[in-house]
Amino acid sequence: MKKDFIDSAIVRQNVLNNSFAVAAIQKEIGLTGILFENEYKFLFKQITDFFEVTDRTIRECIARNEKELTKNGYEVLKGKRLVDFKLVATKVPGCEVDFTTKTTVLGIFNFRAFLNIAMLLVDSEKARSLRSAILDIAIDTINRRTGGGTKYINQRDEDFITNMLRGEDYRREFTDALRDCVDMGNIKYMIYTDKVYNSIFKEDATEYRKILKLEKNEKVRDTMYSEVLDIIASYEAGFAEELRVSAEMKGRPLTSFEADELFSRFEKQRLWEPLREKARTKMASRDLCFRDALHKNLEEYISAVPESDFERFLGEKSMELDQRLEEYRDALKRLKERD
């Protein structure tokens, strides 16, 4: 998958949706524009002057990418909002734009749309230089807010600790059912765990380790997002029940062939489809954005990471696992004292 701004809308959007990176870039560039409705706005002339291109170049760029630019803050003012903007703009020192009475519509950009233009312009040397700075600042912002590493960025999610602990109970149900209901050696635990992983995100544990560059002593599930842990727990709890029911009906443990056939029917249940799609999208998109890790088997599921995810993993509510465990222990202690 191409990872440059010009060729990839996903790469562009991943930076533009990162409000922490956008704020850092704006501070670094020092561009302010016209403050309107609590946000700095930029006129066509300011855009063309900055990038040293013609008005026609910007208009052609907008025509080719109107939907994307509009989503990121480009808009056309008219009516009362245009009148209000003119009143604000004419009072800004250094703003030399002459608003004629015939002006009935006006295209303006916020800072995100300004950056979006920089990512799209091919024939501007300033845009090329800015693209390099944007990428460096975006990467640096993520690294700073995660303490220099993103391998365990999933653990900054406030839902992670709850899902991890709950998942351990369902995992125990799964391994107990395999122990009691499948007539195989200990390799069955690895085989059916990999079947669950392959069904959900098209990779076994070994492939996943390789993509995330995990060491031997690092646990696969410690790096998984809470939504992925959720569906894994559902698979394991559900298949454990299927194993026990089937073994009870037969009055004996299942053979490996019978267990395989049972799992094949289990994973084909229609209810899994939307849950698998969600898990694949979250894993593929977040890992590419935050960890620079590409899951090739999930490439079709990659999309831009939403703004809410940057707040979720980089914002003030996110914190390291040790802090969450400490909070969890304190909560359990208070409950015990209350009893």
Look at residue 337 and tell me whether its pLDDT is greater than 80. no
Mean pLDDT of 42-68: 95
**Crossing angle for the helix pair 272-290 and 9-16, nearest 10 degrees?**
80
R_g (Cα) of the chain, nearest Å? 26
pLDDT of residue 322: 65
Q: Compute the Cα dihedral for 254, 259, 261, 262 and give only its sign.
A: positive
Residues 6+ apart with CB under 8 A from 220: 205, 208, 209, 214
Q: How confident is the model at residue 94 (pLDDT cuts 50, 70, 90)?
A: low
pLDDT of residue 328: 60
Residue 168 C-alpha from the chain's centroid? 25
Mean pLDDT of 178-206: 98
Q: How confident is the model at residue 319 (pLDDT cuts 50, 70, 90)?
A: low
Percentage of residues in the chain with pLDDT exceeding 70? 91
pLDDT of residue 225: 97
Look at residue 158 and tell me whether its pLDDT is greater than 90. no
Mean pLDDT of 66-85: 95
Mean pLDDT of 23-39: 91
- Write out the two tokens for 104: 């009935």
Burial of 155 per CB tally in 10 Å (0-12, 13-18, 19+): buried
Task: Report the chain's mean pLDDT, rounded to a whole number.
Answer: 91
Mean pLDDT of 232-258: 98
Least confident of 14-18, 104-108, 208-212, 332-336: 332-336
Look at residue 2 and tell me whether its pLDDT is greater than 60. no
Q: How confident is the model at residue 277 (pLDDT cuts 50, 70, 90)?
A: very high
DSSP helix/strand/coil, 107: strand
Measured between alpha carbons, how far is residue 284 from residues 52, 208, 278, 303 in Å?
38, 11, 10, 8
- Name the pTM for this structure: 0.85
Q: Decide if 18 contacts 138 (C-beta within 8 A).
A: yes
Residues 6+ apart with CB under 8 A from 254: 181, 182, 183, 243, 246, 247, 262
Summarised one tens digit per residue, pLDDT across range 280-305 is: 999 999 999 999 999 999 999 999 99
Q: Which residue has the tokens 């062939």?
A: 257
Q: How confident is the model at residue 321 (pLDDT cuts 50, 70, 90)?
A: low
pLDDT of residue 99: 62
Q: Which of 287, 309, 310 is nearest to 297 (CA)?
A: 287
